[in-house]
Amino acid sequence: MKTEKLKYERPAIRKMNTGLMNKFGTRTEYAPFTHIDGVSVKELINKYGSPCFVISERTIRKTYQNAVRAFKTRYPKVQFAWSYKTNYIDAVCNVFHQEGSWAEVVSIFEYTKAIENGVPGNKIIFNGPEKTKADLQVALENNSYIHIDHFDELYDLIELTQELKKTAKVAIRVNMDTGVYPMWDRFGFNYESGQAWNAINKIMASEYLEMVGLHCHIGTFMLDPNAYAVAASKLSDLAVNIKYVFNKTIQYLDLGGGFPSANTLRGAYLPGPDMIPSIDEFAEVITNTILNYGFKKEDLPLLILETGRAMIDDAGYLLGSVIANKRLSDGRRATIMDFGVNILFTAFWYEHKITPAQEFSSHTEDMVIYGPLCMNIDVVRSSVTLPALNKGDHVVVHKVGAYNMTQWMQFIAMRPKVTLIDTNGNSHIIRENETLKTITEPERMPDHLKTFNL
Amino acid sequence: MNKWLSIAKKELLYSFDTIVNSYAVVFFSNNVVFGLLLLLASFVDPLAGICGLIGVVSANVFSRVIGLNKEFIRKGYHGYDAMLVASGIAHFYSFNETVLLVIVCVGIFSTLISFLIHGILHKYNLPTLSFPFLISIWLVFSAFPSMSTMQVHPELIYSLNEKQKVSGVTISIWLETIDKLENHLLSFPQIVSVYLKSLSSLFFQSNILSGLLIAIGLLVYSRIAFSLSILGFVAAYFFYPMLGGDVSDFYEKFIGLNFIFLAIAIGGIYLIPNIVSYFMTVVLTPLLIILLFGLNKILYMVGLAPYSLPFTLLTILFLHVLNYRVSIKYIHRVHHQEFSPEKNLYNFLNTNHRLRLFNFFPIHLPFWGEWMVSQAHDGKITHLGEWSKAFDFIILDNEMKSYQNPGQVVDDFYCYNKPVVACADGYVVSVMDNIEDNEIKGINTQQNWGNSMVIYHADGLYSQVSHLKMGSLKYGIGEFVKKGEIIAYCGNSGRSPEPHIHFQLQESPIIGSKTLDFPLAYYIKRENKKFSLHSFSKPNEGEFIQSIEVNPLLKLAFELIPGTKLNWKIKEENQEVKSQQWEIFTDSLNVSYIYCHDTKAVAYFYNDGNMIVFTSFFGSKKSLLYHFYLAHYKLVLGYYQDLIIEEKYPIATISLKFINIIQDFFSPFYRFVNANYAVKYTFIDDINITSEIILESAAEIKILGFKSKAFQYSTNLKSNKINEFIITTSNNKTIAICEN
């Protein structure tokens, strides 16, 4: 057996903590995290540099299949649509499409991306408040599902379909009071005020619009499954009324997304995994509500879910290294990492779990983790208990798959590589790191600014 | 005027049918050509022929007047006895007005007696056969042994002069011609002439010519019946002298037909023709001879002859015994009589392999989505003894685990708290809903079945689901549940170490009754990514199965309800566009069929909401409907990517002309012509919201394993209907578009 030199850890002074006696002393909350799907973190950093995002294909597939099973064993017709905005790196999208997911997009940019990925037009759901007439025309020609957000969009679409004499498959987005605060009423048509029913009447009266579905998205990081019961029952109510008044069977109810991942929200009393309901609990209330609403068995609508965060967050890791250690004026320890809020945007609202990627002793210290930016806001964790880390040590940030790779900023530093570990344990680059050229290429220099003398 | 004309025409056709069928049905047939040939054969002796015809007409007119079923009269059920009796009278008595009167009266009598005998025998699922004829003719012979008004024919041996004397000069030319022909035919070997004479004894003749006509008719009607007639005859020809008889009795005493009728009845009409039925024919022949000798002696005492009594008696005795069998292996009774051994055989093969749906009450899986059979019938763990015919189902993930997390609480199990649905319509008859769910690995052996529900589906058919979640039962005793409705949720109560559904069919409403070995109507099995359809079979342990999830487009496209019209535009290569209209009808037995107004073709089908199955086709084999029938022979109404359904067509529906005829001879033993059907579910735009589906099917005919003919079909479904149907042969392509 190879003996390794014991790791040097700097001495630290710690305040005495009272608590129950145990023979292990104080411990960190985590064990070292050295491998992702069997691939060593050290190797990954050597190969792809630091920082670097790593996505586990196995975790995506497992999470997806688990969610599908949770719904499909409770309800006969279920379809998931991959929410592009959560992570629209093509390789990630294609994992979902391979698993059978449709695409849910909220801009013509995402729409085009989905089309280029090879998603058939009739398996794209076009959401979002901004759809120009040109965008609508593209969606119309591809036979995509258009989820109308407001009356102006509805009028545009009526006009367009009449010009082209082509039928559009539409749904409306409905907002409603589900008992959660804040109420998301800026998207779609309101249910309680009758606005949604008004929109439905207009759609049913227009020659070239076919009302195929109803959509809602009641919020994000929802911690109360019962809110979905309310949403499902209000959508079902509209669907049943449409059947009753217009004798039109609504083909699908789209409950949107908003299921939480196991991340801990800032300021939350309990850590995420202890607090969030499982996908089964959401599935239970949603399917029960619809099944017991009184649809005829053959009229039971397809249930669409646009879950993003809960599907991908767990599969994403951010690998990084320590740049420096510092002591702050109040005596607290500060560790500066080579990643900051520029690429870990979710650090603004999550207390991300961070674990060292190498062995450490049982001695820990409370510390602040800063990013590399020359900006005061660049705080990754304002207070975390970690073992003493040396310059060059590696850390792994967990559950970063959602939103980071779409909301990240090219600010001060450039964005790193994104890699994927496939189900056989091979790693692949799925997005190259940015270079100076990536950033300067779109820039244009007026002639008079081309030269200067200093 | 036209109206009267059409009524007259209709009546004339009807009368024609009643007469011709009354002849054909003697040989269990409804073949027109055979009927006409028999009619012609009876006219070899013109007077007897006329008498027979009068008998038929009188019985049929009587039946019609008193209002018996018109269809039965058309099929000749009421005419044939009268015809036979009349022929007999014509043979034995000199013709005069009295004889004519007796023929008419006895014609009516035979109808009367046939109903009584039918009434008695039908209860035992037995045919009437010749009893009415025998009783009628015995009646006549007993009534008029020798009376002044009814002279026994002075010369019972056939003689030209005698006949001429009786019938006058007008038909002498006819008789002369026949006599000449007969002389030519005398050169046949003895066995052939005895065979033909035996056949002619049907009309109380011993005439080679009429025998020849009957033989030809028999061959036209059925190859199997023809070969059986020879088999039966040859066996008798061999055994009869062995038992001390003389084969001349076959035609002199009119008993030769017994052997032929027995062979046809046992070998191919009342039993499905196969090697065993042929064997039975040979085995029963010596017995028939002994019976014949015995009956002859007994009846001789009262001055009567047995005629067809031995065959009638033996056939009925044998069929009656078959009704008491407990194991059916090689001998199969015909349940739906098609009046042709070939049709009976092909139907049987078709039904046995394909149309099992008509034999079983449809029972479906009691859950939604895909589950795994963790214990099947005769499972080694708990499905033992009287409770061996049960299933256990669980849900597994891709790693073949039944739970997530550590699996220490019931909620970790995928199947826990998942809907359990009714496997078929029925009334709830027993429930148990208050047994606590066990902890994992805990077993409650006190309340073995746990929370359970028993549903009554039909007399002697109950289904039971067990180990349900406490308090989850949605229905109480006496309530009606519909197939596919949620009745409870999967739990872990009773003798259940981890959550699962226990499902069994049983004979009584008591929870935990003895199980019934009963198949499941339909299920889809998945192996990796390959789906296969299973109908009326039982899944095995370790299989991943699900119910058919009906696709709305497939359902609507094939929802061919009576009154639906399909208008086709047919474009064949290098030909003008033709249009055709089809319409859906149902017959009196509530069987639906597609009728083509232009080609008059008919295709029967059956649609039970899960499958559409075409059962038979009649009409031109060049018609579009014929190809439609071949292309959609068996379809499941759910869409499973790349699912392939294979089936064999009944050989009779494939036109190969003379090869079919050769095949008919061998069909009870070996079928060298095979017609194979295969359909593949090729394309769907979306499984949940479907607007387009493409099915590709093929009909392939193989002779001795070599491909002889093949059709490729492609059916496109769109806008909730059949949109396009393409037929491709090796040299032609036809595109039919449905415009509805």
**Pick from B419, B485, B689: CB nearest A251:** B689
**Considering only alpha carbons, which residue of chain A is nearest residue B555?**
A298
How many residues can be counted in chain A? 454
Q: How confident is residue B572, by pLDDT bands cut at 50, 70 and 90?
A: confident
CB contact under 8 A, A79 and B688: yes
Cβ(B561)–Cβ(B583) under 8 Å?
no
pLDDT at position B715: 95
CB contact under 8 A, A73 and B691: no
CA A35 to chain centroid, in Å, comes to 23
pLDDT at position B570: 92
Place of tokens 């037909």: B257
Which of A24-33, B501-510, B627-636, B689-698 has the least mean pLDDT? A24-33
CA distance B139 to B105: 11
Task: Give Cβ neighbours of residue A39 (< 8 Å, ≥ 6 apart).
Answer: A421, A425, A427
CA distance B459 to B155: 65
- Would an 8 Å CB–CB cutoff place A117 in contact with chain B? no
Whether B1 shows a pLDDT value over 70: the answer reads no
Q: Which amino acid is at B502?
A: H
CB contact under 8 A, A66 and B552: no
pLDDT at position B160: 45
Between helix A90-99 and helix A108-116 the angle, nearest 10°, is 70
Residues linked to residue A215 through DSSP beta bridges, in sequence order: A173, A254
Picking from A393, A362, A365, the residue whose alpha carbon sits closest to that of residue A381 is A365
Q: How confident is residue B170, by pLDDT bands cut at 50, 70 and 90?
A: low
Domains of chain A: 35-55+316-439 (2.40.37.10), 57-313 (3.20.20.10)
**Pick from A73, A120, A302: CB nearest B418:** A73
How far CA A136 is from CA of A161, A225, A358, B151, in Å, comes to: 10, 34, 52, 103
**Considering only alpha carbons, which residue of chain B is nearest residue A66?**
B397
**Pick from B395, B549, B685: CB nearest A73:** B395
Smallest CA–CA distance, residue B508 to chain A, in Å, is 30
**B273, exposed or middle or buried, with CB in 10 Å at 0-12, 13-18, 19+?**
buried
- φ, ψ for residue B507 (rounded to 5)? -90, -15
Mean pLDDT (whole number) for B651-665 = 77
Place of tokens 């049983």: B506
Cβ(A89)–Cβ(A430) under 8 Å?
yes
- Would an 8 Å CB–CB cutoff place A98 in contact with chain B? no
CA distance B150 to B284: 39
**Pick from B404, B411, B549: CB nearest A76:** B549
Q: Tally DSSP H helices, then E strands, for chain B.
A: 20, 24
Which of A363-367, B392-396, B555-559 has the least mean pLDDT? A363-367
pLDDT at position B484: 87
Q: Which amino acid is at A385?
A: T
Cis peptide before A442 (omega within 30 of 0): no
Whether B224 shows a pLDDT value over 70: the answer reads yes
CA distance A249 to B201: 72
Whether B236 shows a pLDDT value over 50: the answer reads yes
Q: Could you report the per-residue pLDDT of B270-321, keeping only the tens digit for each? A: 999 999 999 999 999 999 999 999 999 999 888 888 889 999 999 999 999 9
DSSP 3-state percent helix, strand, coil across chain B (nearest 5): 40, 25, 35
Whether B554 shows a pLDDT value over 90: the answer reads yes
Q: Could you report the per-residue pLDDT of B184-201, keeping only the tens digit for each? A: 777 788 888 889 989 988
Cβ(B23)–Cβ(B35) under 8 Å?
yes
**Pick from B398, B415, B686: CB nearest A65:** B398
Whether B152 shows a pLDDT value over 60: the answer reads no
Strands (E), B313-408: 371-375, 390-394
Spatial strand order in the sheet of B461-468: B480-481, B426-432, B451-458, B461-468, B501-506, B390-394, B371-375, B544-546, B520-527, B530-537
**A358, exposed or middle or buried, with CB in 10 Å at 0-12, 13-18, 19+?**
middle
CA distance B580 to B563: 16
Give the single-character DSSP code of B403: B
CA distance A431 to A316: 14
Q: Is B733 helix (H, G, I), strand (E, B) or coil?
A: strand
What the block records as the tokens of B205 is 């003749």
pLDDT at position B457: 95
Residues linked to residue A386 through DSSP beta bridges, in sequence order: A365
Q: Is A260 helix (H, G, I), strand (E, B) or coil?
A: coil
pLDDT at position B665: 86
CB contact under 8 A, A122 and B419: no
How many residues can be counted in chain B? 740
Task: Give Cβ neighbours of residue B59 (< 8 Å, ≥ 6 apart).
Answer: B22, B78, B79, B81, B82, B83, B107, B108, B110, B111
DSSP B614-656: EEEEES-TTSHHHHHHHHTSEEESB--TT-EEEEE--GGGS--
Residues 260 to 319 of A: which have CB under 8 A from any B CB? Answer: 280, 284, 291, 297-298, 302
Task: Give Cβ neighbours of residue A145 (< 8 Å, ≥ 6 apart).
Answer: A122, A124, A125, A126, A169, A170, A171, A212, A213
Residues linked to residue B721 through DSSP beta bridges, in sequence order: B718
CA distance A131 to A154: 10
CB contact under 8 A, B368 and A74: yes
Task: Give Cβ neighbours of residue B335 (< 8 Å, ≥ 6 apart).
Answer: none
Indicate whether this model's pTM tops 0.90: no
- φ, ψ for residue A176 (rounded to 5)? -160, 165
pLDDT at position B574: 81
Mean pLDDT (whole number) for B633-660 = 85
ipTM summary value: 0.73
pLDDT at position A170: 96
Q: Could you report the per-residue pLDDT of B578-635, keeping only the tens digit for each? A: 999 999 999 888 889 999 999 999 999 989 888 999 988 888 888 999 999 999 999 9
Residues B174, B177, B179, B184, CA torsion sign: negative
pLDDT at position B356: 63
Q: Is A352 helix (H, G, I), strand (E, B) or coil?
A: coil
**A444, exposed or middle or buried, with CB in 10 Å at 0-12, 13-18, 19+?**
exposed
**Pick from B368, B418, B686: CB nearest A76:** B368
- Would an 8 Å CB–CB cutoff place A77 in contact with chain B? yes
CB contact under 8 A, B688 and A302: yes
Tens-binned pLDDT, residue by residue, of chain A (454 aa): 567 777 777 777 766 666 666 665 555 556 889 999 999 999 999 999 999 999 999 999 999 998 998 898 888 889 999 999 999 999 999 999 999 999 999 999 999 999 999 999 999 999 999 999 999 999 999 999 999 999 999 999 999 999 999 999 999 999 999 988 888 888 999 999 999 999 999 999 999 999 999 999 998 888 889 999 999 999 999 999 999 999 999 999 999 998 998 888 888 777 777 888 989 899 999 999 998 898 887 788 999 999 999 999 999 999 999 999 999 998 888 999 999 999 999 999 899 999 999 888 777 888 999 999 999 999 999 988 888 889 999 999 999 999 999 999 999 999 999 999 999 999 999 999 999 999 999 999 999 999 999 8
Q: Which amino acid is at B220?
A: V
Domains of chain B: 1-186 (1.10.3430.10), 222-353 (1.10.3430.10), 371-526 (2.70.70.10), 552-738 (2.40.128)
CA distance B118 to B125: 10
- Would an 8 Å CB–CB cutoff place B407 in contact with chain A? no
The per-residue b/e assignment along A377-407, b for 16 or more CB within 10 angstroms, e otherwise, is ebbbbeebebbbbeeebbbbbbbbbbbbbee
CA distance B58 to B78: 10
Residues linked to residue B578 through DSSP beta bridges, in sequence order: B570
CA distance B733 to B716: 15
CB contact under 8 A, B486 and A297: no
DSSP H stretches of helix in B439-559: 552-557
Ramachandran quadrant class, B435 (left: phi over 0; alpha: psi -120 to 50; beta: rest): beta
Residues linked to residue A216 through DSSP beta bridges, in sequence order: A174
Chain A environment of B369 (Cβ under 8 Å): 72-73, 76
Q: Tally DSSP H helices, then E strands, for chain A.
A: 13, 20
**Pick from A69, A72, A252: CB nearest B397:** A69
Neighbours of A51 (CB within 10 A): 26
Chain B environment of A62 (Cβ under 8 Å): 398
Picking from B644, B666, B659, the residue whose alpha carbon sits closest to that of residue B702 is B659
Chain A environment of B414 (Cβ under 8 Å): 69, 73
Place of tokens 């596919």: B484
CA distance B737 to B579: 9
- Would an 8 Å CB–CB cutoff place B719 in contact with chain A? no
CA distance B319 to B332: 11
- Would an 8 Å CB–CB cutoff place B400 in contact with chain A? no
pLDDT at position B642: 92
Smallest CA–CA distance, residue B643 to chain A, in Å, is 18
CA distance B218 to B269: 13
Whether B159 shows a pLDDT value over 50: the answer reads no
Cβ(A52)–Cβ(A395) under 8 Å?
no
Smallest CA–CA distance, residue A76 to chain B, in Å, is 6
Cβ(B341)–Cβ(B272) under 8 Å?
no
Whether B148 shows a pLDDT value over 50: the answer reads no
**Considering only alpha carbons, which residue of chain A is nearest residue B685?**
A122
- φ, ψ for residue A167 (rounded to 5)? -85, 135
Picking from B226, B333, B103, B418, the residue whose alpha carbon sits closest to that of residue A284 is B418
CA distance B394 to B499: 7
What the block records as the tokens of B633 is 């022979």
Cβ(B280)–Cβ(B267) under 8 Å?
yes
Task: Give Cβ neighbours of residue B567 (< 8 Å, ≥ 6 apart).
Answer: B579, B580, B581, B582, B738, B739, B740
